[in-house]
Chains A and B, each alone.
Chain A
Amino acid sequence: MDSLRKIAVPVGAIVVFLLFWEALVQINNWPNYVMASPSDLPAAYAQFWELFLVGSWQTLWRTVAGLALAVLFGLLLGMIMGFSRIARDALYPLLVGFNAIPKATLVPVLALLFIGQHDFNTVMMAFLISFFPIAVSVGIGLSTLEPEYRDILRSLGASRFTIFRKIALPKTLPEFFGALKVSVTLAFIGTNLVEIVSPHGRGLGALFLSGQTNSNYPLMFAVLIALAILGIALYYGVVALERIFAGWAERQAT
């Protein structure tokens, strides 16, 4: 009963949303170049299913690759900032400044730096846009570790690395996954940004662009829905990882 409700409620909400959208378009009598309706979409998927599969895969792997880079780099940066006050003071303004730059402005910069390396540029953008939350949250998690936690192992003569591995790292995992949930969405946006903005792009973003160029409005909306589904899948992928590695942080409802 409980598991049925867990599935039925969100599915029901999606159905209601689609009905509302359909009704909105029908009642206002909008032509599909103003707004396509859900009933236009199956035809678009049926016609271009191969492009959707290829595009989704390209978008997916480049997002995941960028995010993986962001995790490695973010963890490293977070560790440096968490353990060294000087590094924190030095890096923080740089990071904040970098994060404040609208990433769309970096697309031409990257494109000129690495001409023609479309895959590489896309992965780089996904990485650049998403490492900041990881670095900051890991840094804060490590620097706010209560001294008693450290003292328990330090008084036994444990090395800094042992303390990091046994205590600091697992203790920071909930913050890390909190940041990863933000980062996965950001990386996804980064990937799509490059796909849409750069000429001769690949992935779902390029498919969206070709829909626009050919005035195929149902295709554009179909891409948007596909992007939403892919985004949801990525997000819940992170949630599943969180359950496995930081499930202990979730308190049982009492």
Chain B
Amino acid sequence: MDNLIEIRGVRHAYKTKSGPLPVLDGLDITVPEGEFCAVVGPSGCGKSTLTRLVAGLMKPDAGEVWLHGQKVTSPRKTVGMAFQNPVLLEWRTILDNVILPLEIVAPSMPRRDRVARAEALLEMVGLAGFEAKRPSELSGGMRQRASLCRAIVHKPDVLIMDEPFGALDNFTREDLWQTMHDLRAKEPFTAVLITHDLRESVFLGDQVVVLSGRPARTQFILNVDLTQDRDIDVLYTQKAADMLHTLRDQIKIAQGRDPEAA
């Protein structure tokens, strides 16, 4: 099984007062093991629905979601999630926040091992020394770093991120992109990243999937042929500029505008 995530012909509609509202219609995404898939699209096109489908929190009306060759029908222990809001538990220290998934997934793991695992991750993202702090004592960027540690502490097969850097300022965001790359080098994972930021999608993604406007289908797939280890300068090369331009045009099409006229 080479493809870790396979989404085939997924359709989904929400029930609203004015009848069903289709959000996904003909979604196909394939992510090989270890790859990083960035998903972009106009706002309100059902990107967050996609994360809930992959996590098994929802079932699609039609079509199938497969993880590791198994059809997803309910939540599994093998996913990690991160959101725009870091949703840390304010009554726990940063360390205990990171440990939380282990308490569910590996209840028999000794506390000592959990702490060691969490400390190692916090060190990787530059939060060494903040283990005993409460979330309210940290900046937004630091909280998001802790949230990422929590999402991967149980070594999930799939990391699902819904605009995790959306609420951060530009420089902090670029720092976190770099952290993401460094983490991937040490802790390989397969990832789905929902984002609005084209630069982010090119910098982090191995492939970028462009969704059409609602109801969303897979409109375009860009293979990012940049080397695996990247730093932020790569975004200022001609190659990256061309890719960004292609994506920009695709977004215009997704929004229903003619790329030439716009």
Contact = CB atoms under 8 A, between A and B. Distances in A.
- A and B, one complex? yes
Interface of A: 146, 148-149, 151-158, 162, 166-167, 170-171, 173, 246, 248-249, 251-252
A242 to B, nearest CB: 13
A193 B136 CA distance: 43
Scoring A148, A173, A251 by chain B CB atoms within 10 A of each residue's CB, the highest score goes to: A148
Interface string B94-128: 00000011011100000000000000000000000
A253 to B, nearest CB: 13
B232 interface: no
A163 to B, nearest CB: 9
A69 to B, nearest CB: 27
A151 B104 contact: no
Given A148-B87, A155-B80, 5 more contacts: A152-B100, A152-B150, A156-B101, A170-B91, A252-B137
A114 to B, nearest CB: 41
Nearest to A153: B104
Contact of B87 (A152, A248, A249, A252): A152
A221 B52 CA distance: 65
Interface in B37-91: 52, 55-57, 74-77, 79-81, 83, 85, 87, 89-91
B167 to A, nearest CB: 13
A155 B90 contact: no
A251 B136 contact: yes
A248 B94 CA distance: 13
Nearest to A163: B104
B72 to A, nearest CB: 11
Contact of A156 (B77, B91, B134): B77
A211 to B, nearest CB: 47
A146 B80 CA distance: 18
Nearest to B54: A155
Contacts of B79: 155-156
B85 A148 contact: yes
Contacts of B154: 156
Contacts of A167: 89
B91 A151 contact: no
A15 B63 CA distance: 77
Interface in B130-155: 134, 136-137, 150, 154
Contacts of A146: 85, 87
Nearest to A162: B104
B103 A151 contact: no
A160 to B, nearest CB: 12
Given A158-B104, A251-B136, A151 B57 contact: yes
Chain B, interface size category, equals 20 to 34
Contacts of B81: 151-152, 155
Contacts of B83: 148, 151
22 contacts: A146-B87, A148-B85, A151-B52, A151-B55, A152-B81, A152-B87, A152-B100, A152-B150, A154-B57, A155-B55, A155-B57, A155-B79, A155-B80, A155-B81, A156-B79, A156-B104, A157-B74, A157-B75, A171-B91, A248-B90, A248-B91, A251-B136
Contacts of A152: 81, 87, 100-101, 150
A248 B104 contact: no
A248 B101 contact: no
Given A148-B83, A154-B75, A156-B105, A171 B57 contact: no
The 8 closest A-B pairs by CB, nearest first: A155-B55, A248-B91, A148-B87, A156-B104, A157-B75, A158-B104, A148-B83, A170-B91
A232 to B, nearest CB: 28
Contacts of A151: 52, 55, 57, 81, 83
A156 B56 CA distance: 10
Contact of B75 (A156, A170, A252): A156
A113 B74 CA distance: 52
A185 to B, nearest CB: 26
Nearest to B84: A148
Nearest to B56: A155
Contacts of A157: 74-77, 104
Nearest to B82: A152
A216 to B, nearest CB: 51
Contact of B103 (A148, A166, A173, A248): A166
Most B-side CB within 10 Å, residue of A146, A154, A170, A171: A154
B168 to A, nearest CB: 17
Task: Tell which of A146, A151, A156, A246 has the most Cβ of chain B within 10 Å.
Answer: A156
A170 to B, nearest CB: 5
A153 B57 CA distance: 11
Contacts of A155: 55-57, 75-76, 79-81, 160
